[in-house]
Structure 1
């Protein structure tokens, strides 16, 4: 059967729905992986497409048997390809080693044997020749769970109806990326970033020491486009990433003046990061940033600027790498 190409529906960043509306929403764990639309023609085959529409089937050969999971029933599903760490949590850094292998099937097969991925399925948009796009989420969810998609490398994670505060607290307690809130009456809107789906990222705040900056472009010419930040570890300043968002225009201009006053030709980071075009500064300014997760090497993922901490010197701040990353 020829299945329709369907672009995935996207969530809008936001906060929990008001408590008075809580019962009108379902809550799913936000996973840190690669979004995938799964096409099952009903002949035992399977096609995976990324959010961009690119076919990525060959990158994940271990998911091939899913093609026969529904027998002869054709379907289009929505899900997320995950690489799980030793604690069963999604680890985007692990997944990156697999994401570029769609055109290297031999390498993908070796990687699949070493560390297989897991597919979390959370929606169904087409089933048995019928479009489900105009059905409400609640009904689509029932149909999805009736498919009983549980296998060695795929599953249908549970959705919680109501109890949003408890669901969000649980993701924080277990160190998960966040929560996706979905209106029970929402239709599936292909390719649309909809307010009917709200994503909440669990962000962690941390003190960092500024060691350099990268020039901005366009309207930011002459101003820092990003600051390069680090944390102390074993007597040295370790680079943990670049932060380029979170400032107002006035804050960026103020920071530019402070950075120019602390300019130096010596990189304060050890080891020196690969950051072409960087301007180094003496590591005297402390800032607070927030981020979603860390890579295994301690780099901050999705960092954004919160504020400068002029009340703190580097020695007084808590800008130290966690012990397991030193």
Structure 2
């Protein structure tokens, strides 16, 4: 069962919903047959048990009670936050168990459990509130797995807390919702926290098809502490056709043969421009290298010169 992107439920319905922290990991279904065995399946249906050997002791956590659990595998950074880029070093190793074991020692994962689909008997048609109660009664807390708390009501406060702690976002789940395998349901709503920052345009990539003569993406950067313009990613969404056309004219007028980024990013086919255009973009998080994830163009900032903008890298990246 998948969540639909959306907004917080109306305040008048707040008490009918539970709120869970949105995780940034690999969704898995955990099969515990009650015979000390365990099987993990990804959303694609692929078996990935061997990719995460540190989770094997979970097989004995419920003794002989068969269960099917829904959760997400995370890799956590030094600040205790889920880091999908870090997790990618662990994904895709189901067919390389020796390497998976070596990586488990370097980048251990943590399994977050948030639903139970079977506990001796099937629970798919049981309301979320009761499924959640049964899940919490299992007390599944271990060295590499846990059952984080869900909050009933107080959605606005829960969302605010995820923003203040720099978390991915919030998942809202209707208390009376049944579990619909494979369905993207309005009974579950996901809200991704987005951030906004100033960036300096240093280049662009041509579009394709009807956008051949227009920018398909702009290449943007932010200043590091030593004054260099560091590349932070390409932004290819967020414009109307008119805005894209306007931007194309500005980019042509600022064309240069030299890359303004230091170091030069590996972007084949890039057209470089003088770093004098400032824009504002939204994004979800950053990679460990400082690149923006899911960036989208918000607006051009003609009122700001680059030196007067807030287009600065965070201190820990600059």
Deviation at 1:65, TM superposition (A): 0.9
Q: Which residue of 1 aligns with 2:207?
A: 216
Q: 1:100 aligns with which of 92, 100, 106?
A: 92
Partner of 1:310: 302
Decide which of 23, 27, 47 is 1:35's aligned counterpart. Answer: 27
In the alignment, what sits opposite 1:170?
161
Query: What is the rounded CA distance, in whole Å, between the counterparts of 1:76 and 1:183 in structure 2?
Result: 21
| Residue of structure 2 equivalent to 1:160 | 151
TM-score by length of 1: 0.94
Q: Give the C-alpha shift of residue 205 in structure 1.
A: 0.8
Residue 147 in structure 1 maps to residue 135 in structure 2? no
- The whole-number CA distance in structure 2 between the counterparts of 1:119 and 1:189 is 22
CA distance in 2, matches of 1:61, 1:181: 31
Q: In the alignment, which of 157, 171, 189 is matched to residue 198 of structure 1?
A: 189
Gaps of 5+ in 2: none
Counterpart pick for 1:49 among 13, 21, 41: 41
User: Aligned-pair RMSD on alpha carbons?
Assistant: 1.3
Residue in 2 that maps onto 1:3: none
Structure 1 unaligned spans of 5+: 1-8
Residue 255 of structure 1 is matched in structure 2 by: 247
Q: Name the count of aligned residue pairs.
A: 317
For 2:126, which of 125, 135, 146 is the aligned residue?
A: 135
Q: Is the 8 A contact 2:48 2:94 kept in 1?
A: yes
Q: How many Å separate the matches in 2 of 1:191 and 1:213?
A: 38
State the SS of the aligned residue for 2:85: helix
Matched, 1:245 2:228: no
2:255 corresponds to 1:268: no
Q: Give the Å deviation of 1:87.
A: 2.5
Task: Measure, in 2, the Cα distance between the counterparts of 1:46 and 1:222.
Answer: 54
- 2:250 paired with 1:280: no
**TM superposition shift of 1:249:** 2.0
Residue aligned with 1:283, SS: strand
Instruction: Determine which of 60, 65, 68 is the counterpart of 2:57.
Output: 65
TM-score, normalised with respect to structure 2: 0.96
Q: Distance between the aligned counterparts of 1:221 and 1:53, measured in 2?
A: 39
Q: Tell me the CA shift for residue 239 of structure 1.
A: 0.4
Q: Who is 2:222 aligned against?
A: 231
Q: Any idea what the Cα deviations from partners look like across 1:296-324, whole Å, max 9, x if unmatched?
A: 22111111111111111111111011111
* Post-superposition CA distance 1:108-149 (Å, at most 9, x none): 111112231100000111221x32221111111111112221
Superposed structure 1 runs of 4+ greater than 6 Å apart:
none
SS at match of 2:112: strand
Deviations 1:5-50 (A, max 9, x none): xxxx111111111111100100000111111111112221211111
The one-character-per-residue Cα deviations of 1:260-298 (angstroms, maximum 9, x if unpaired) are 222222111111111122221111111101111112221
